Amino acid sequence: MVEHLTQYRHVQAIAKATIDELKKLIKSGMTERDIVFTAEEIMRNKGIKSFWYYGIGALGRLRQNINHH
């Protein structure tokens, strides 16, 4: 159980770091597809090998942050 919690926290740290990087990279004119591709590329570079959310709009938190800045 503790091992799963450690893995979960590690993946969440990568996701949060990815959002921080995306905030700097998103430019006017980028499509959601561009942003997803960029996010996945960042996450792969950090060691993520697969994603569970194919076909689902998974950038809700990111959109919230963009709307407030």
Under 8 Å between Cβ of 51 and 40: yes
Cα distances (Å, whole numbers) of residue 44 to 6, 41, 69: 19, 5, 27
Q: Coil, strand, or helix at residue 58?
A: coil
The 10s digit of each residue's pLDDT in 13-59 is 998 999 999 999 999 999 988 998 999 899 999 998 887 765 554 44
Cα distances (Å, whole numbers) of residue 54 to 24, 33, 57, 58: 24, 12, 8, 9
What are φ and ψ of residue 9, in 5° steps? Answer: -65, -35
Q: pTM score, two decimals?
A: 0.69
Tokens of 5: 């919690």
